[in-house]
């Protein structure tokens, strides 16, 4: 069955975006895609029926709703404002849905800029992992006018199992930064706790035996621990670089709000040090190994505690 009311464009076919776009086209929406370079994701989506466009402007001219799932605000701004960008092709009444984790200040500025040409900007950042993106069971927190939210909700339902309308445009990105502060704060806390445990003779397996299924257990902990316990690099695909970027956005948001955020700064610094140690493509669950290295503690998967 093909849905005729909305035509959809999608830009950002990475770990999350590929699965989201796959669900849109598989569930009956006419889909156009744009990517700077061809990839396995573009080939897969074309095989499913998506149309590959030569530019963002060409995609915008064909779509009533455009989804963006890119690294952050700088990419979003370029895709909208740049040469052959979305703004050159967007029609009045169309909607741009930014699923990236972006800077709320940029989001609200872009929303005003697009509103002047009759285009709606919605922020719908994501939670969970590429596994849920592929299954169509992501979480999303949405900032949008209520009428626009109701319009795009059926599209969101193709790839999200849990949808929360937080408020007006910008509130989705604000909530996402707060959400990531909580989750990445857990990561920094687990990393230091595992390092100290290893140093005093308590293995990660024993640490896990105490935490798992207790009051301190949660879904984030379970995927985060897959690397330390089992060497699994696939369970929690989120890079340290992206995490550090999100924590810098959080710092900026706190500064704008005049709010002291000392724990946020501490978590940001932990990730900043880890990025320099581990490199840009290192995943967040490897944080304990990198934090341990600062104290000459070995915490690679399969290691034994210090004697």
Provide mean pLDDT across the span 222-230: 95
Position 52 confidence tier, pLDDT thresholds 50, 70, 90 = very high
Give dist(CA 281, CA 107) in Å, integer: 26
The per-residue pLDDT for 198 is 96
78-101 residue pLDDT tens: 999 999 999 999 999 999 999 999
- Whether the pLDDT of residue 295 is over 60: the answer is yes
pLDDT score recorded for residue 1: 41
What DSSP string describes 84-125?
T-GGGTPPTT-EEEE-S---HHHHHHHHHHHHTTT-EEEE--
Q: Which CATH number fits domain 3-169: 3.40.50.720, 3.90.79.10, 1.10.20.10, 2.40.40.20?
A: 3.40.50.720
Question: Could you say which of 1.20.1740.10, 3.40.50.1010, 3.30.1360.200, 1.10.1040.10 is the CATH number of the domain covering 174-294?
Answer: 1.10.1040.10
Q: Quote the tokens at residue 234.
A: 């696939």
Please give the model's pTM, rounded to 2 decimal places.
0.90
| CB-CB neighbours of 131 under 10 Å | 16
46 pLDDT tier (thresholds 50, 70, 90): very high
Distance CA 164, CA 196 (A): 38
* pLDDT grade for 103, boundaries at 50, 70 and 90: very high
Q: How far apart are CA 54 and CA 109, in angstroms?
A: 27
Whether residue 179 has pLDDT greater than 90: yes
Question: Is pLDDT at 152 greater than 70 in this prediction?
Answer: yes
pLDDT over 50 at 2, yes or no: no
Per the annotation, the verdict on 268 as an active-site residue is: no
pLDDT tens, residue by residue, 237-259: 899 999 999 999 999 999 999 99
E strand or H helix at 269, and its extent?
helix 262-278
Q: Where are the domains of the chain?
A: 3-169, 174-294
Helices (H), ranges, 160-201: 171-199
What is the Rg, in whole angstroms, of the alpha carbon atoms belonging to the chain? Answer: 20
Torsion of CA 197, 201, 206, 208, to 10 degrees: 20
pLDDT at 285 over 70: yes
Q: Which of 22, 176, 245, 268 is flagged as catalytic?
A: 176
Tokens of 226: 């897959």
> Are 95 and 148 in contact, with CB atoms under 8 Å apart?
yes
């Amino acid at each position: 069955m093909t849905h005729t009311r909305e035509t959809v464009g999608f830009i950002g076919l990475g770990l999350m975006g590929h699965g989201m776009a796959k669900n849109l086209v598989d569930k009956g929406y006419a889909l156009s895609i744009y990517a700077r370079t061809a990839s396995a994701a573009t080939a897969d989506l074309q095989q499913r029926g998506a149309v590959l466009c030569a530019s963002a402007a060409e995609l915008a001219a064909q779509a009533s709703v455009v989804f963006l799932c890119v690294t952050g605000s700088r990419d979003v701004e370029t895709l909208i404002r740049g040469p052959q960008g979305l703004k050159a092709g967007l029609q009045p009444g169309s909607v741009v849905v930014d699923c990236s984790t972006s800077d709320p200040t940029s989001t609200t500025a872009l929303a005003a800029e697009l509103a002047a040409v009759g285009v709606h900007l919605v922020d719908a950042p994501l939670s969970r992992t590429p596994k849920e993106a592929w299954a169509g069971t992501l979480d999303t927190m949405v900032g949008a006018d209520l009428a626009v939210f109701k319009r795009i909700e059926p599209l969101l339902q193709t790839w999200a199992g849990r949808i929360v309308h937080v408020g007006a445009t910008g509130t989705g990105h604000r909530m996402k930064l707060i959400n990531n502060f909580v989750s990445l704060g857990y990561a920094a806390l687990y990393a230091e706790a595992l390092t100290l445990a290893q140093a005093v003779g308590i293995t990660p397996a024993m640490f896990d035996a105490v935490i798992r299924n207790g009051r301190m257990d949660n879904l984030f902990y379970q995927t985060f621990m897959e690397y330390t316990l089992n060497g699994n690099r696939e369970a929690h695909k989120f890079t340290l670089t992206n995490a550090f970027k999100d924590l810098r956005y959080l710092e900026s948001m706190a500064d704008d709000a005049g709010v002291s955020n000392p724990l946020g700064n501490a978590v940001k610094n932990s990730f900043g040090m880890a990025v320099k140690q581990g490199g840009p493509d290192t995943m967040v669950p490897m944080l304990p190994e990198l934090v341990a290295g600062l104290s000459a503690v070995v915490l690679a998967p399969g290691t034994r505690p210090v004697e």
